[in-house]
Amino acid sequence: MRPTVRLSALVTLTALASTTLAACGSGSGSDPDTVKVSFKQSTDNSIKVMDTYLADIKKQFEKANPGKKVELVPIKAPDSEYYTKVQQMLRSPKTAPDLVYEDTFLINSDITSGYLKPLDPYLAKWKDWDQFIDTAKAAAKGEDGKTYGVPDGTDTRGLWFSKDVFAKAGLPADWQPKTWDDVLSAARTIKEKVPGVTPLNVYTGKPAGEAATMQGFQMLLYGTGDGTTDPLYDKNSKKWITAGQGFEDSLAFVETVYREKLGPEVSDALDPNFGTTVRGELLPQGKLGIALDGSWLPQDWLEGSGHEWPEWSKELGLAYMPTQNGQAPGKVSMSGGWTWAIPAKAANPDLAFEFIKTMQTKANAQKWYIANSGIAVREDVANDPAYVRAQPGIKFFTDLVASTHYRPAYPAYPKVSVAIQEAMEGVTTGDMTVQEAARGYDDALREATDNQVVDK
C-alpha cells in the first residue's frame, strides 16, 4: 500500500533476484526438481509462526516426493513493502518464485498485470477444492471468472480491551458498545481515570498501509449504512463511490481520536511497525485500553512465539464493533485473507501446486489455522470440534463472519486504499479538515480509477 520502496528493500530485492538466477538463466525453476516458495516473514524476529509451519511442510513434501526439494524464500518487510517486493519479483522469469503468498486485496491487481497463472486446470482435478467455502473461493477469482489462488484462511475484526484497564476506569468487564459514541465514551473515561495508558488504538495513515484502510477506516465506513450496499463500490454501475456523509463521519471519528488524544501519539501511530508494538508490548503490558484489530492477534502470544502470553484470554475481553448509531445489524466486521498463488513466470508450476496440496490437507490446514489464529475456510476443518476448542476467541471471531464485509478488491483497489490512507493521515495530523480530506480523496479516487466514479 505504501508505493515507495526503501533503499534497504531494493537491496534485499536485488539479493533475492541474484539468488534465483541459475546457470542457464532460465528463471526461478532452473532446477526442475526444486520448488521455490516466497512468503512474508514477520519483521519481529521473535515471531516464527509462518517459518515453523513451512519448514514442517517442506519436510513432509520432500519425504513424500523423493528427489524433489523445497527452497523457502522469506521476505522480511512490513506489509506494504512486501507487496512492492513481490510485484517486482513477479515481473521477470529470472526473479519469479514458483509459489508466492498473496494478500487477497492485491490479487486482482496482479491478475490484471499478468503476474499470476490461472489454477483452474489444477483445481478441477483436486478433490479437496470442494471443501473450500464459496466466499473464500470468490476472493481468489479474477474478473475473468478464473481462479488464481488457493486461500489459506480468512479473518474478522473486532474490539479487544484490557479487563485490568477497564476495572481501573470503572468500566464493565462484559463491555459491549452499541454505538460509536459508546466506544469514544469508554476511551474518554480511560483517559481521565487511568493515566499513562493509551485509551484507544485505531490504525491510521500511509505507514500503516492496509491496516489503516481495513482495520481502521472500513470498520467505521461499513457501519454507517444499513449493511446491504457497499459504500466504496457500486456493483451495478461498476464504478467507485465518492466520499459522502458516511465517509466524512468515518474520518471525523478518526479525527476525534487523535485530536482529543484518545489514541497513541501521532508519531507512534505513523510508525510502520506500530502494529508489532501493539501486539508485543502495549496489550500484554496493560498499556492499551481498547484495540480495534483482527482475529489473528493471539498468534503472537502462543507458546514459542517469542511474546508468550498464556494469560491473554483471561486478561483481554472481546466486543464486536458496533454500527455508527446502533442500526441493524448492530455490528460490523471486515474480512480478508491470504492465498497461495503461482506466478505466470514460474518455471515449475506443477511442482508448486503439489506443494499447495501438501499444505492444504485437512490436517495441515487445521494446524495452520490454529497456529496463526486464522478462521477456517475449509468446511471439514470448521466443523471439527477440535478446531473450535483449540483457542479462546475462535468462536467469537468465527461468529462475526455472518456480519462481515469484503473489500471491493478490483484492480484499482490498491490505489483507492492509498487514497483512504492519505485522507486518514490528513485528519490524524490535523493538516486537513474532514472536508478537505474528503475532497482530496475524491480527486485521488478519480485519478486512480480513470474517473470511473459515481457521486454519493
Residues 231 and 131 in one domain: no
Residues 135 and 177 in one domain: no
Tens-place pLDDT, residues 255-293? 999 999 999 999 999 999 999 999 999 999 999 999 999
Question: Against a cut of 0.85, is the pTM above it?
Answer: no
Residues 344 and 328 in one domain: no
What DSSP string describes 312-372?
HHHHEEEEPEEPTTS-TT-EEEEE--EEEE-BTT-S-HHHHHHHHHHHTSHHHHHHHHHHT
Residues 220 and 258 in one domain: yes
- Find the mean pLDDT for residues 189-195: 98
Query: Which residues pair with residue 290 across a beta bridge?
Result: 161, 200
Residues 142 and 213 in one domain: no
Whole-number pLDDT of residue 105: 83
- Find the mean pLDDT for residues 430-434: 98
Tens-place pLDDT, residues 306-354? 788 999 999 999 999 999 999 999 999 999 989 999 999 999 999 999 9
Please report, for the domain that includes residue 372, its CATH number.
Answer: 3.40.190.10
Question: Higher model confidence: residue 52 or residue 43?
Answer: 52
Whole-number pLDDT of residue 19: 38
Domain residues for the domain of 207 are 157-335+409-454
Residue 324 covered by a domain: yes
User: By percentage, how much of the chain surpasses pLDDT 70?
Assistant: 93
Residues 248 and 277 in one domain: yes
Residue 417 covered by a domain: yes
Residues 262 and 164 in one domain: yes
**C-alpha–C-alpha distance, residues 72 and 54, integer Å:** 8
- Find the mean pLDDT for residues 192-197: 97
Report helix, strand and coil shares of the chain as percent, to nearest 5.
45, 15, 40
User: If pLDDT is split at 50, 70 and 90, which confidence band does 373 have?
Assistant: confident
Residue 306 covered by a domain: yes
Tens-place pLDDT, residues 222-252? 999 998 899 999 989 999 999 999 999 999 9
Residues 246 and 292 in one domain: yes
Last residue of a domain, one of 385, 401, 417: 401
Residues 71 and 115 in one domain: yes
Residues 244 and 371 in one domain: no
Q: Domains in the chain: how many in total?
A: 2
Answer positive or negative: Cα dihedral of 51, 56, 60, 65. positive
Answer positive or negative: Cα dihedral of 368, 373, 377, 383. positive
Whole-number pLDDT of residue 427: 98
Residues 262 and 308 in one domain: yes
User: If pLDDT is split at 50, 70 and 90, which confidence band does 8 have?
Assistant: very low
Residue 1 covered by a domain: no
Cis peptide before 329 (omega within 30 of 0): yes
User: If pLDDT is split at 50, 70 and 90, which confidence band does 78 have?
Assistant: confident
Residues 294 and 216 in one domain: yes
Tens-place pLDDT, residues 104-162? 888 888 999 999 999 999 999 999 999 999 888 988 998 899 999 999 989 999 999 99
